[in-house]
Amino acid sequence: MTDKLIIFDTTLRDGEQSPGASMTKDEKLRIARQLERMRVDVIEAGFPASSNGDFECVQAIANAIKDSTVCGLARANDRDISRAAEALKGANRARIHTFIATSPLHMEKKLRMTPDEVFEQAKQSVRFARNLVDDIEFSPEDGYRSDMDFLCRVLEAVIKEGATTLNIPDTVGYAIPELYGDFIRTLRERIPNSDKAIWSVHCHNDLGMAVANSLAGVKIGGARQVECTINGLGERAGNCALEEIVMAVRTRRDYFQLDIGVDATQIVPASRMVSQTTGFVVQPNKAVVGANAFAHASGIHQDGVLKARDTYEIMRAEDVGWSANKIVLGKLSGRNAFKQRLQDLGVEMESESEINTAFAAFKELADRKSEIFDEDILALCSDESVTAEKEQYGLVSLSQRSETGERPHAEVVFTIAGKEYQSAAEGNGPVDASLKAIEAHVKSGAEMMLYSVNAITSGSTESQGEVTVRLQHSGRIVNGVGADPDIVVASAKAYLSALNKLQSKVDRVAAQG
Ligand SMILES: CC(=O)SCCNC(=O)CCNC(=O)[C@H](O)C(C)(C)COP(=O)(O)OP(=O)(O)OC[C@H]1O[C@@H](n2cnc3c(N)ncnc32)[C@H](O)[C@@H]1OP(=O)(O)O
Ligand SMILES: CC(C)C(=O)C(=O)O
Ligand SMILES: [Mg+2]
C-alpha cells in the first residue's frame, strides 16, 4: 500500500524572495504554466497583499491554471487574507496559506506579541480565511524553533478552525534530519485532531540540509506534502530543491513507498526556464539538473556505462528531461568510450591496430586540449592532426573603443604566416567589431555557426572567459577556442584559432590531392 506525496512548489513566492530573483507577471505566468505541465499539485503563486503587481501575478496565474491548486500567501490578518482570496477568485482550486511566527524569538522581538496574542490571532485568521476558501494552509513561522507545548496548542486550535494543511517551517534552516523528523512525528502524536489535516514540511537550506530534512519529515514524521522550489531557489541559501525531492522519492520508492504525480520529464525544461528567467546559473554538478549530472569523463566509468548504464547511473537522463546521458571525451577517457564514439560517428576502422593508433593520437591530443569535439576525432581518424595545424594566423594586439551612443570600433594587429597586418572595423558590439576587423582583411568567407562564452575559473568578473567560435566553410566545420580575462581578446583568439583550423584542412586536402 502506498500513499501520495503532495508536491507544493513555491518558486514563485519563496523562490522570488531570493535577492535578485524578482520576476515579471509574464515570466511568472510562463513558469506557472510549466509547473502545471509538470503536474505539481500546488503552485504558490505569490503574496497578493505585498503589492498590486504581485496581486496581479497571482490573479493572472489563478485565471490561467486549470489543473494545479493555486495558492496565495497571507499574513495572519484580515486584510492580507482578503487580498489573497480576491486574487484567487478565478482559480479552479484555490488555497489560502496564512502564517504567523510562533518561536519565542520571533514573537517577542519581531511581532512584539505575547504567545496568547499569537494564539488568538492564528485562530481568528484561519476562521476568517475558512469563510472565504475551503482549502486553508496554516504555517507557524519559525515552527522548528518553537516551544513544543505552545505549538501543539496553536496547531490543535487552527485545525478546529478549519485548517486543512499544517506546514511546519524550518524557516532558518536550523534543523537536523533525524531531529526534524522526530519533531513532526511528535506533533502528530501529541495533537489529538492531527489526523484531520495534511502535514507539510518547508525547509530552508542554510546548512545544506533542506532536502535531507524534508525527506526525514516525510519518512520519520509522516508528512505528506513537501514545499520546494525549482533549482532550490529561495530566501538566503534557498529552499528544498523540487528536482531532488521528486527524484529521491522516485528513485528510492522501495524505501519511501510513496507516489508522486509530477511528470519528471518536465524537470529539466523547468530548471532551464527558472535559471534563464532569474539569471541564477545552475552549477554543473547540481544533482539532477546540473549539466554534469549525467556526464561521464573518466574511462572506467565510460566503459561501465557503455556496457550497462546502471553501473554508474541511478536515474535515466531521459526520465528527468535530458536528451541523453553524455560521454565527454577527454584525457581521462578510455579505449572503449573512444571506440563507441567512432561507431556513433560512423567511422569504420579496419583493424584493432588502426584503432590503437587513433586512440594514442587522441590521448596525446586530449592532454593538450580540455574537451575533444567530434570533428577533432574525425580529423584524427582521417590522419589529420587537429592541433598540429600550422599557426597561419596569430593575434598580436587588439584595441577597441565602445561608448554609450557610439558604434563600437576595433583595431586588430595580427600575423599571417609570420607577417604583421593591421585592420579596423566597426560593429554592433566590441566583439563584432573585432571579428569584422579580422575578417575584413582575411576574407575567409566562413559562416559563423556558434559563438559562446563561458567563465572558466571562479565565475566572478575576474574569471577567464573561454570563447568558442564554430566556423563553416565549403562543408568543413571547425571549432576555435580562445581564453583570456578580456572576452573581446578571447573572441579574437577563438576566431583566429578557427581560421587556423580551416586553413590547415585546406592545406591537407591540397597535399592529398
Ligand atoms: C518566512 C517568510 O518567508 S515570510 C514571507 C516573507 N515575504 C515577504 O515579506 C515579502 C512580501 N512582504 C511585503 O511586501 C511587505 O513586508 C508587507 C506588504 C507584507 C508588509 O509591509 P509593511 O506594512 O511595510 O511592513 P514591514 O514589512 O515593514 O513589517 C512587517 C510587519 O508585519 C508584521 N508581521 C510579520 N509577520 C506577520 C504575520 N505572519 N502576521 C501578521 N503580522 C505579521 C510585523 O510584525 C510588522 O508589523 P509592524 O509594522 O506593526 O511592526
Ligand atoms: C511563510 C513560511 C511558510 C516560510 O516561507 C518560512 O517560514 O520559511
Ligand atoms: Mg520559506
The whole-number average pLDDT for the span 227-256 is 98
Tell me the CA distances in angstroms from 132 to 72, 77, 89, 167, one per residue in order.
13, 13, 10, 20
Closest C-alpha to 220, from 176, 261, 251, 259:
176
- Residue 446: the pLDDT is 94
Q: Whose CA is nearest to atom 2 of ligand 2?
A: 141
> Confidence class of residue 32 from pLDDT cuts 50, 70 and 90?
very high
Partners of 50 in the β-ladder: none
- Contact partners, residue 87, CB within 8 Å, separation at least 6: 46, 48, 55, 58, 59, 62, 72
> Confidence class of residue 259 from pLDDT cuts 50, 70 and 90?
very high
The whole-number average pLDDT for the span 453-459 is 56
* Type of residue found at 458: S
Residue 275: Cβ-neighbour burial (10 angstroms; 0-12, 13-18, 19+): middle
Is the dihedral angle over the CA atoms 329, 334, 340, 343 positive or is it negative?
positive
Tell me the CA distances in angstroms from 18 to 10, 275, 292, 364, 427, one per residue in order.
12, 13, 25, 46, 37
User: How far, in Å, CA of 400 to CA of 434, rounded?
Assistant: 8
**223 and 139 Cβ atoms separated by less than 8 Å:** no
- Contact partners, residue 169, CB within 8 Å, separation at least 6: 99, 139, 140, 141, 142, 143, 144, 202, 203, 204
Ligand nearest to the CA of 200: 2
* Type of residue found at 327: I
β-pair type (476-484, 465-473): antiparallel
User: How far, in Å, CA of 227 to CA of 200, rounded?
Assistant: 7
- Please identify, by atom number, the ligand 1 atom nearest to the C-alpha of residue 73: 5
pLDDT of 123 above 60: yes
User: How far, in Å, CA of 38 to CA of 228, rounded?
Assistant: 14
In terms of phi and psi (left: phi > 0; alpha: psi -120 to 50; beta: otherwise), the region of 479 is beta
**222 and 258 Cβ atoms separated by less than 8 Å:** no
**Per-residue pLDDT reduced to its tens digit, 277-292:** 888 889 989 999 998 8
Element (H, E) at 481: strand 476-484
Identify which of 50, 73, 136, 141 to mutate to test ligand 2's pocket (most ligand atoms within 8 A of the CB). Answer: 141
Whose grid coordinates read 574537451? 371
Q: Whose CA is nearest to atom 9 of ligand 1?
A: 50
Cβ of 110 closer than 6 Å to ligand 1, yes or no, is yes
pLDDT of 314 above 60: yes
Tell me the CA distances in angstroms from 25 to 89, 221, 277, one per residue in order.
17, 37, 12
Identify which of 111, 126, 141 to mutate to test ligand 1's pocket (most ligand atoms within 8 A of the CB). Answer: 111
> Confidence class of residue 452 from pLDDT cuts 50, 70 and 90?
confident
- Residue 383: the pLDDT is 45
User: How far, in Å, CA of 455 to CA of 467, rounded?
Assistant: 9
Question: What is the phi/psi pair of residue 19, to 5°?
Answer: -55, 125
Percent of the chain with pLDDT over 90: 70
- Residue 278: the pLDDT is 85
**467 and 451 Cβ atoms separated by less than 8 Å:** yes
Average pLDDT for the chain: 91
> Confidence class of residue 510 from pLDDT cuts 50, 70 and 90?
low
Element (H, E) at 4: strand 3-4
Which range, of 48-57, 128-137, 185-194, 334-343, averages the lowest pLDDT? Answer: 334-343
pLDDT of 458 above 50: no
- Please identify, by atom number, the ligand 2 atom nearest to the C-alpha of residue 142: 7
Element (H, E) at 78: helix 78-87
β-pair type (447-455, 465-473): antiparallel
- Please identify, by atom number, the ligand 2 atom nearest to the C-alpha of residue 13: 5
- Residue 455: the pLDDT is 60
C-alpha grid cell, residue 290 = 546540473
pLDDT of 369 above 50: yes
Q: What is the pTM of this model?
A: 0.77
**Per-residue pLDDT reduced to its tens digit, 71-83:** 999 999 999 999 9
Q: Which residues are annotated as a binding site?
A: 14, 202, 204, 239
CB count in 10 Å sphere of residue 196 = 14
- Residue 473: the pLDDT is 87
- Residue 310: the pLDDT is 95
| Eight-state DSSP code of residue 17 | G
Which range, of 58-62, 206-210, 416-420, averages the lowest pLDDT? Answer: 416-420
User: How far, in Å, CA of 431 to CA of 400, rounded?
Assistant: 9
Identify which of 18, 75, 80, 139 to mutate to test ligand 1's pocket (most ligand atoms within 8 A of the CB). Answer: 75
Q: Whose CA is nearest to atom 8 of ligand 2?
A: 171
User: How far, in Å, CA of 175 to CA of 204, rounded?
Assistant: 9
**276 and 262 Cβ atoms separated by less than 8 Å:** no
> What is the CB < 6 Å shell around ligand 2?
14, 99, 139, 141, 167, 169, 171, 202, 204
- Residue 351: the pLDDT is 83
User: How far, in Å, CA of 85 to CA of 56, rounded?
Assistant: 13
Chain centroid to CA 493: how far?
A: 31
**Per-residue pLDDT reduced to its tens digit, 477-501:** 677 777 777 899 989 999 998 898 8
Tell me the CA distances in angstroms from 36 to 89, 239, 351, 396, one per residue in order.
18, 20, 54, 54
Ligand nearest to the CA of 168: 2
**138 and 99 Cβ atoms separated by less than 8 Å:** yes
pLDDT of 232 above 90: yes
Q: Ligand 3 centroid to 460 CA: how many Å? A: 28
Question: What is the set of domains in the chain, with CATH numbers?
Answer: 3-278 (3.20.20.70), 295-381 (1.10.238), 393-512 (3.30.160.270)
Q: Ligand 3 centroid to 119 CA: how many Å? A: 21
Is the dihedral angle over the CA atoms 205, 211, 216, 219 positive or is it negative?
positive
| Eight-state DSSP code of residue 194 | G
Cβ of 294 closer than 6 Å to ligand 1, yes or no, is no
The whole-number average pLDDT for the span 257-277 is 94
- Residue 457: the pLDDT is 46
- Please identify, by atom number, the ligand 2 atom nearest to the C-alpha of residue 169: 7
The whole-number average pLDDT for the span 447-464 is 66
pLDDT of 391 above 80: no
Partners of 471 in the β-ladder: 448, 478
- End-to-end Cα spacing for the chain: 72
Q: Whose CA is nearest to atom 27 of ligand 1?
A: 50
Chain centroid to CA 251: how far?
A: 20
**360 and 334 Cβ atoms separated by less than 8 Å:** no
**499 and 442 Cβ atoms separated by less than 8 Å:** yes
> Confidence class of residue 34 from pLDDT cuts 50, 70 and 90?
very high
Q: Which residues are annotated as a binding site for Mn(2+)?
A: 14, 202, 204, 239
CB count in 10 Å sphere of residue 360 = 12
Considering only residues 453 and 20, tell me which one the structure prediction assigns the higher pLDDT.
Answer: 20
Cβ of 244 closer than 6 Å to ligand 1, yes or no, is no
- Contact partners, residue 155, CB within 8 Å, separation at least 6: 138, 140, 166, 187, 191, 194
